[in-house]
Structure 1
Amino acid sequence: MLDHVGVPVSDYARSLAFYRQALAPLGIVLLMEMTPEATGGNGAAGFGSGEEPFFWFGDDGAPGVHTHVAFRADSRAQVDAFHAAALAAGGRDNGAPGLRPHYHEHYYGAFVLDPDGHNIEAVCHRPE
């Protein structure tokens, strides 16, 4: 389980629109935005599915620096919905939904590259 992950982005507004749409099928929503004044640097957005954000991005934008983040899904249908939503939001396919038995027999994941090339995954570990 993740506590939180942060990634740099080159275009805050574009990334905000992408993640709002791509993460919605997983029940992950924007919970908090921090102003540049509050962070002492650049603005940041925090997404989560409860009270505390666990996925952050900010206008830190070091080009060529990419991150991999895996979000846990409750079902394979959610993985499929994430992949479709992320592609519709402008992401690039980096691995269609399907079993990845080299990780374990029930590992069902999908991968997309976000607008900055970060490898974003949704994964379900359940056997259904």
Structure 2
Amino acid sequence: MLDHMGFRVRDLVSARRFYEAAAQAVGLAVIDNSPTSFLVVRSAGEPIPFLWIGTDKPSFWAAGHQVSASPIHVAFRAPDHASVDAFHRAALAAGGTDNGAPGPRGPAEMGYYGAYVLDPDGNNIEAGYRAPRHGS
């Protein structure tokens, strides 16, 4: 549904350390984009859709935009429960702050298992796995 999205960060080095660890845990990659930004993608060979993360202010953003003035929420799809657990551990080890340990989320019939970590700028980053639904 989405082609891309992006947001600014204060410190590119700490953001990249966090997103490399978190992305790798759920089977995604971080690739270079420019000296002031990077992309989270499926792989270098499949760079769209992408999540742009950088320190520059894109020309089309409003003048009053401030980094993390309104934190965002991004959820990465994980291939299984173990990947959600690995995401949580890796993101914390890379400078994230726990915002919800791995476990079931929402109504049981959704079959959703997720974990939440705040990135270095306070954005809520999630990894989640949805169990296959039978009989639908």
Distance 1:63 1:69, change over 3 A: closer
One-letter amino acid of the counterpart of residue 52, structure 1? P
**Matched ranges for 1:1-128 at <5 A:** 2-35=2-35, 43-50=36-43, 51-53=46-48, 54-59=50-55, 60=57, 62-102=67-107, 104-126=109-131
Distance 1:106 1:114, change over 3 A: same
Identity of aligned residues (%): 47
> TM-score, length-normalised on structure 2?
0.78
**Consecutive unaligned residues in structure 2, runs of 5 or more:** 58-65
Higher-Rg structure is 2
Deviations 1:48-75 (Å, cap 9, x if unpaired)? 1231151111114624231100000010
What CA distance in whole angstroms lies between the structure 2 residues aligned with 1:92 and 1:104? 29
> TM-score, length-normalised on structure 1?
0.83
